[in-house]
Amino acid sequence: MHTMTRWRAKRRYEANRRFGERADDTLVAIAILKGRRDGIELEQTDEELADKLRRGRELLEDIRDALAEDPGVDPYEMAIAEELKAEDPNPPSVLVDDFDELITSVETAEHTLDYTEGLDDVRTWLKRISNIADRTSRESISRMRGSLANGTR
Amino acid sequence: MPTELAKAQVEFLEGKFDAARTLVEKFDPTIPQAETILQAVEGGLDQVHQNRRLYDTAHEQAPESETALELYEKYLGSIGKVAFDLQVLETQLVYFDLYQYQRTLSVEDRLDHAQSLSDELTTAFGIDVTTIPVIWNGFAIDPLDYRIRATGDISHIYAVILPRTQSEPWRYAPLIGHELGHAVLDRHGDLETEFYGEVQEVRNRTRSGLDHDHDNEVEDEDHFVTSWRAWFEELFCDTCGVLTFGPSYLSALVWHLFDSNPYYIERDPDYDMHPPPALRFKLVTELIEDLFPELGDSVREYRTAFEFHLDALEGERPSDYNAYDYDELRRFVLHEVPDRITHDLDDLITDIQDGMRPEDSSTRAHRLATNEYWLDSFPP
């Protein structure tokens, strides 16, 4: 009777994946902006770049809202925020301020399409978020496999 | 060169995709959403090639640059994503294989019953989904296209999983009402978010010492929150069971929940987080009292038997059980869910009271037959 529900594992995976995609897009955009600064020519239109940066900014905004415990936050984003809080020595209010700075850095890059130092921090945080999402999804996948023949829900 | 390895991996994935595509395209009956699913995987492969081009360009100009290394990492990431998409598609195909194969066996009648009951239920719930019944080893529902981006945020194809059994199908029919509740909840993210907000509020109150409602303290408040988030989905589905099957849901549920420890609260979130049977029973009896008290007596025998079972096992109840059975959260389900989802409970209750014959009903035949099977007398 008491078996893991593969439903929930899947649902978690889906949320993780969408999350990971948004972070990945922005990480590609940041790499391209850095490449441009260093004189590396990469095929990518300004619109594509701005769009990739926007997705990452929106993700950071969602996490910022979850860190601030705003009502109506998506449950999955709340879970990610809780992990970030648990891993960080600073109180949540400091994290919220940090996220505001990250959001400003991406927003500026969306307009100027120039690489700035602030984007280094954005990259670090997006990777951290992406790692949490990835870790959860790997666990979910192995649980899904393990529980495939345990159908009671 | 690592890029050669990556290339070989992509070629292998493309081979898998071609094999899956061939199967999907010639499948009979047609797989719903097939084209969008295939397109989603194809889109992932395009992304792989695009990331590869970016990496190659950067690598040619500055092989050791940070940009080149980061783009290599992103290239690998996009390969991993396609690999997972394909895994989803392959799992779906196994279900379809199983469904087609089982149609040729002696379980065909059972599959027909589950299919026709699922159609009746999805109409009652007002949801547009495709269900694929398969015999496996328990009651479950599996959303098959949940993670395929192109089909949207919610699943449209669900495998309805049944145990292999010779029991009459009316015995377990109400549990299929519960399972389809999961598909209904997929379409009610608003309710889930609202409920999570309630849980958060309860936690904040407890944390600030403002909660005077409960005598028993929860020791691990994170576990309390995790449990209730998981329990909500199951309690929501139990409510869907009551809303579609009326009194017979209680009878089928107490049979299904009969267990040596009805007060069991799972402490390890890595295991099954179903709510304790005692809590599910309490919610279902409250729903009956709220929604159709006049039919409460029709399943009195099952209710009394389960109450006896609960009394007998009182000693198994963990000391913090009362703190977990949080009235406010249970009442959220009790009061919000019936008003917010589509169902035809009132008409079903009238049909039961009138003693309508299942064969005379075009929209509730299976559910009338189920109530006829479970109720002490029909009409009550």
Secondary structure in 3-state letters for chain A:
CCCCCHHHHHHHHHHHHHHHHHHHHHHHHHHHHHHHHCCCCCCCCHHHHHHHHHHHHHHHHHHHHHHCCCCCCCHHHHHHHHHHHHHCCCCHHHHHHHHHHHHHHHHHHHHHCCCCCHHHHHHHHHHHHHHHHHHHHHHHHHHHHHCCCCCCC
Residue A150 has pLDDT above 50, yes or no: no
Q: Kindly report the average pLDDT of chain B as a whole number.
A: 89
Q: How far is B361 from chain A (nearest CA, A)?
A: 30
Residue from B49, B64, B69, B70 whose CB has the most chain A CBs within 10 Å, to mutate: B70
pTM: 0.82
Rounded CA-CA distance A35/B53 in Å is 14
Residue B343 has pLDDT above 80, yes or no: yes
At residue B217, the pLDDT reads: 65
What percentage of chain B has pLDDT greater than the value 70? 94
Phi, psi of B187 (to 5 degrees): -100, 10
Least confident of A94-108, B91-105, B305-319: B91-105
A40/B58 Cβ within 8 A: yes
Nearest CA in chain A to B275: A2
Least confident of B248-252, B318-322, B349-353: B318-322
Nearest CA in chain A to B143: A7
Residue from B72, B86, B196 whose CB has the most chain A CBs within 10 Å, to mutate: B196
At residue A121, the pLDDT reads: 95
Largest CA distance in chain B: 83
Residue A27 has pLDDT above 80, yes or no: yes
At residue B90, the pLDDT reads: 84
At residue B82, the pLDDT reads: 86
Q: Sort out which chain A residues have CB atoms less than 8 A from B98's CB and list them.
A: none
- Average pLDDT of the residues in A59-66: 92
Residue B185 has pLDDT above 80, yes or no: yes
B161/A2 Cβ within 8 A: no
Q: How confident is the model at residue A7 (pLDDT cuts 50, 70, 90)?
A: very low
Q: How far is B94 from chain A (nearest CA, A)?
A: 12
Q: How far is A104 from chain B (nearest CA, A)?
A: 23
At residue B270, the pLDDT reads: 72
Q: How far is A101 from chain B (nearest CA, A)?
A: 23
At residue A71, the pLDDT reads: 74
Least confident of A133-142, B91-100, B192-201, B277-286: A133-142
- Contact criterion met (CB below 8 Å) for B263 and B318: yes
Terminal Cα-to-Cα distance of chain A (whole angstroms) = 8
Give the model confidence (pLDDT) of B38-49 as tens digits: 887 888 899 999
Q: Sort out which chain A residues have CB atoms less than 8 A from B51's CB and list them.
A: 28
Nearest CA in chain A to B181: A153
- Average pLDDT of the residues in B81-100: 84
- Contact criterion met (CB below 8 Å) for B337 and B191: yes
Give the model confidence (pLDDT) of B113-132 as tens digits: 999 999 999 999 999 998 99
Instruction: Name the residue among A10, A73, A141 with its Cβ closest to that of B146.
Output: A10
At residue B61, the pLDDT reads: 95
Instruction: Name the residue among A2, A69, A149 with its Cβ closest to that of B137.
Output: A149
Q: How far is A7 from chain B (nearest CA, A)?
A: 6
Q: How confident is the model at residue A140 (pLDDT cuts 50, 70, 90)?
A: very low
DSSP notation for B1-40: -HHHHHHHHHHHHHHHHHHHHHHHHT-SSPPTTHHHHHHH
- Contact criterion met (CB below 8 Å) for B273 and B226: yes
Rounded CA-CA distance A23/B81 in Å is 13
At residue A135, the pLDDT reads: 65
A74/B146 Cβ within 8 A: no
B81/A17 Cβ within 8 A: yes
Q: B365: part of which helix (H) or strand (E)?
A: helix B365-374
Residue A147 has pLDDT above 50, yes or no: no
- Average pLDDT of the residues in B72-83: 88
- Average pLDDT of the residues in B17-44: 81
Q: How confident is the model at residue A31 (pLDDT cuts 50, 70, 90)?
A: very high
Q: How confident is the model at residue B215 (pLDDT cuts 50, 70, 90)?
A: low
Instruction: Name the residue among B65, B179, B197 with its Cβ closest to that of A72.
Output: B197
Residue B93 has pLDDT above 90, yes or no: no
Residue from A13, A17, A24, A28 whose CB has the most chain B CBs within 10 Å, to mutate: A28
Q: B142: part of which helix (H) or strand (E)?
A: strand B140-143
Q: Sort out which chain B residues have CB atoms less than 8 A from A18's CB and list them.
A: 149
Instruction: Name the residue among A24, A73, A153 with its Cβ closest to that of B140.
Output: A153
Residue B188 has pLDDT above 80, yes or no: yes
B62/A72 Cβ within 8 A: no
Least confident of B81-85, B134-138, B257-261: B81-85
Residue A52 has pLDDT above 50, yes or no: yes
B58/A7 Cβ within 8 A: no
Q: How confident is the model at residue B277 (pLDDT cuts 50, 70, 90)?
A: very high
Instruction: Name the residue among A3, A31, A74 with its Cβ closest to that of B70.
Output: A31
At residue A48, the pLDDT reads: 94
Q: How confident is the model at residue A6 (pLDDT cuts 50, 70, 90)?
A: very low
Q: Sort out which chain A residues have CB atoms less than 8 A from B195's CB and list them.
A: none
The closest alpha carbon to A54, from A15, A26, A18, belongs to A26
The interaxial angle of helices B365-374 and B248-257, nearest 10 deg, is 60
Rounded CA-CA distance A61/A63 in Å is 5
Residue B135 has pLDDT above 80, yes or no: yes
- Average pLDDT of the residues in A101-109: 97
- Average pLDDT of the residues in B229-243: 94
A34/B67 Cβ within 8 A: yes
B81/A5 Cβ within 8 A: no
At residue A137, the pLDDT reads: 52
Q: Sort out which chain A residues have CB atoms less than 8 A from B81's CB and list them.
A: 17, 20-21
Least confident of A71-85, B240-254, B268-282: A71-85
The closest alpha carbon to B374, from B308, B298, B295, B305, belongs to B298
Rounded CA-CA distance B319/B11 in Å is 58
Q: Kindly report the average pLDDT of chain A as a whole number.
A: 79
At residue A13, the pLDDT reads: 54
Q: Which residue has the tokens 């009652």?
A: B124
B1 CB-side CA count, 13 A: 9
What percentage of chain B has pLDDT greater than the value 90? 61
* Planar angle of CA B298, B306, B181, nearest 5 degrees: 75
What percentage of chain A has pLDDT greater than the value 90? 48
